[in-house]
Structures are given as C-alpha cells and as structure tokens.
Amino acid sequence: MAEKMSRKPYHREVPKAGWVFDHPRYMRYMAREFTCLFIGGYTLLLVIGIGRLAAGRADYEAFLEALASPPSIVFHVLALGFAIYHSVTWFNLTPKALPVQIGEDFMPDKVIAGAHYAVWALLSVGILFLSGAF
Amino acid sequence: MNEREIELEVLRYDPEVDEKPRFQRYTVPCKSDWVVLDALNHVKAQQDPTLSYRWSCHMAVCGSCGMMVNGEPKLACKAFLRNYTGVIRVEPLAHFPIERDLVTVIDDFMDKLKRVRPYLIPKEEKSIEAGEYRQTPAELKKYKQYTQCINCMLCYAACPEYGLIPKFIGPAAITLAHRYNQDSRDGGREQRQEEIATSEGVWECSFAGACSEVCPEHVDPASALQQVKIESTIDWYRDHLMPWLKK
C-alpha cells in the first residue's frame, strides 16, 4: 500500500551549531554545561598548585604570589560564580534522578535537593576546619 | 462570548507541487475560549479544505494534534488563543519529516516504541484460573506518573539531542520502557535494557530537560531517563565488579 502512494516527505535540517539559540531553554541548558569548563579549569589550577608545592618552597611561594594577582582574582571570582551556578542547577535536578518512595508517597523534592545542600555545607565546613580556618 | 480576529501563519507543504514548505496566512474570527485546533478547524471548514493536520479527541487525551505553536511544541487542542498576541505561527512538530502541511511522518517514533516493548511481560505466566496479577497501591504509585504518556511526541520535538542525533531512542519510548521496568508484575527488564541501556538509548540523553518542560501530561520523561541511567550504571558495576552475582 505504502509503496503505491506518492510520498515525498520534506526533511528539515537542524542547524549543527545554531540550534542553541533557537529557544531560551536550550541556552539555559548550554549555560549549565558551559560552567563545567570553569570547574575543570579550577581543578587544573589545584593540580598545578600541588606540582609547585612538590617543586619546593620558592616555587610554591611564587605560585601563591601569582594567585594574588588581579587576573587571578578575577578568574577566582568568575570560577566561584560559575561553580555555584553549576552546583545549584544540578542539585535542583537531583530529585528527578533519585526519587525516594516511603510507603506510598514520594519524599518531597525539597527534602532530596535539601539533603544535597546540607552535605555540601557540611563538607565545606569540614574542609575549612581541616585548613585551619577556625 | 467575545470574538476577535486572529492571524494564523500556517506552514503548508504539498508534496505533489511544492519543492519546499511555505507559509500561508489566514484571518480567523475566534471566540475567547478557542484553542489553536478550533482555529484550524474553522479554516478547514470555511476557508481552505486542503489544509491537512491530525486531530481526534480535542481534549488532550489522544496525542494526535501535536504541532509547533510560535516555535513551542504544543497540543493544538490545549493551546488557548487568548494566551497569544500578534500573528500565531503554526508549524508541524519539529524534528520529524513533513508528510503534508502539519502532518508529520512518525514512523521513526513508532519503530522505537515497538523496540522498547512497552507492554507487560509477566514475571511468571499464570493461567486465567490462577487469578489476576495483584499489586499494592504503593507498587502502582511507583510508576503511575509514567503511564500518563499519550505518545504525542512533543518531547521529541523539544529534545535537542533527538534533533541532532535522530537514532536516539528518545524521551517517550525510554520513559515507557522505564514505566514497565518499574512495574512489580513485570519481568521484561533484561529485554528492554538491550535497547535502552545503549549509546543510542539512554546514554544519548544529556539531561537538557526540554522533554519535561513541554510534556502536556506532566509525565516528566527526563526523570525517567536519569533513573534508567543510574540503574544501568549499577548494572554495569554489578556485572563487572561482582560477576558472581550474575545469574
């Protein structure tokens, strides 16, 4: 039957790069993905720091001095902002991936996302404690 | 009831004449409680009987009238005209080939739906005399949300991954697989995993979340896909780190 019908379906191309700008929700999604670059960048910086520390006192102190430079401070402020955006957007999505059913009902989304924020706060306090901030 | 005139800009494509789609304008007198589908029905009845589109129930149950309204995947029967100003642009669902006018070719989705076996595969076959497969209210609630899918394909039109990588099995089909996997009476998970725990299955999803934003039945397909990812990851670790647990 299908072979006898004259069909000429029209295929619309999705632009390989421009699709991101087709809808605000795509841009929000790419913003979340994009922020991971800063998290990756900051991780690299930490690795370099460990390398400098291993290289000796003079190298490490030069590294610390470089960290205090204005471009470095700008990078840190940006990286912090993007890391917070990244973490918040992902934490708010955790209830979708990790539903917890107790009896018949599901635990409210706020509790599941809230637990992630609580662990985040606890770990941050723990790290600050170990670093001698208190 | 208040009447007003609206301008509809509808994508038209006649495969026997047109090389590519074109827009056609219609001015439609409409009532305040009309939806886009009412306006299309008015055009077809009063102005242009050649206009083609799918619809059936007019009550967001059948899932036939999915289309792009001002660039957003919508059920035409649920898109109230009073929520729009200016010219309303109506196009066929994105990411699907156009058969004619607002009618899309949905064979790809139908094939994918079939592949994921979206039906109950009982854990153990019982004779009719042995009675029904029983389930507690909690067991029902575990998957009930995912039974609300009406196969309208709005999620496929919204999903950027499906647009770029059409082999992706996609939100609705994987969600339905998850719905049956979560069912206490079902024993077909292993068969479905062969389809969905693959690179063109759930691992093509990057959690843009667009599917859940446009779903008219609040099924939240994105949640189902993330849960499938977690369960498939657990499977992998179990198979590779604790192979003795394998049956």
CA angle B43, B47, B53 (to 5 degrees): 40
Residues of CATH 1.20.1300.10 domain(s) within chain A? 20-85
What tokens appear for A43 in the block? 């991780």
pLDDT at A4 over 70: no
- pLDDT score at A78: 95
Give per-10-residue mean pLDDT for chain B (247 aa).
Answer: 88 95 97 96 98 98 98 98 96 98 98 97 91 94 97 98 97 98 96 96 96 97 98 94 78
Indicate the average pLDDT of chain A: 93
Residues B156 and B96 sit within 8 Å (Cβ to Cβ): yes
- pLDDT score at A46: 95
CA B172 distance to own-chain centroid: 5
Token pair 């196969």: residue: B151
pLDDT at A108 over 90: yes
Nearest residue to B20 via CA among A9, A19, A6, A18: A9
- pLDDT score at A5: 65
From the list A6, A10, A101, the residue facing B21 with the nearest CB is A10
**Closest Cα in chain A, distance from residue B156 (Å):** 13
- pLDDT score at B247: 59
Band of the pLDDT at A2, cuts 50, 70, 90?
Answer: low
Chain B CB contacts of A96 under 8 Å are 212, 220, 222-223, 226-227
Long-range contacts of A109-116 (CB under 8 A, 24+ apart): A116/A91
**Closest Cα in chain A, distance from residue B161 (Å):** 10
Q: Is A81 left (phi over 0), alpha (psi -120 to 50) or beta?
A: alpha
Instruction: Inspect the interface and report whether the beta carbons of A6 and B15 lie closer than 8 Å.
Output: yes
pLDDT at A6 over 90: no
- pLDDT score at B3: 84
Single-letter amino acid, residue A51: G
Give A8-63 pLDDT, tens digit per residue.
999 998 888 899 999 999 999 999 999 999 999 999 999 999 999 999 999 999 99
- pLDDT score at B1: 58
Element (H, E) at B12: strand B3-12
Contacts of A38 (CB under 8 A, 6+ apart): A78, A79, A82, A83, A86
Contacts of B211 (CB under 8 A, 6+ apart): B155, B158, B159, B171, B172, B221, B222, B225
Contacts of B136 (CB under 8 A, 6+ apart): B184
| Angle in degrees, 0-180, between the axes of helices B189-196 and B171-181, rounded to the nearest 10 | 160
Q: Is B202 on the interface with A (CB under 8 A)?
A: no
Band of the pLDDT at A3, cuts 50, 70, 90?
Answer: low
Residues A50 and A64 sit within 8 Å (Cβ to Cβ): no
Nearest residue to A15 via CA among A3, A1, A26: A26
What is the CATH number that goes with domain B3-104? 3.10.20.30
Q: Which CATH architecture has domain B107-245?
A: Orthogonal Bundle (1.10)
% pLDDT > 90, chain A: 88
- pLDDT score at B178: 98
Q: Where are the domains of chain B?
A: 3-104, 107-245
- pLDDT score at A16: 87
Domain A20-85 class?
mainly alpha
- pLDDT score at A27: 96
Contacts of B198 (CB under 8 A, 6+ apart): none
- pLDDT score at A65: 96
Please tell me whether the overall predicted TM-score, pTM, comes out greater than 0.90 for this model.
yes
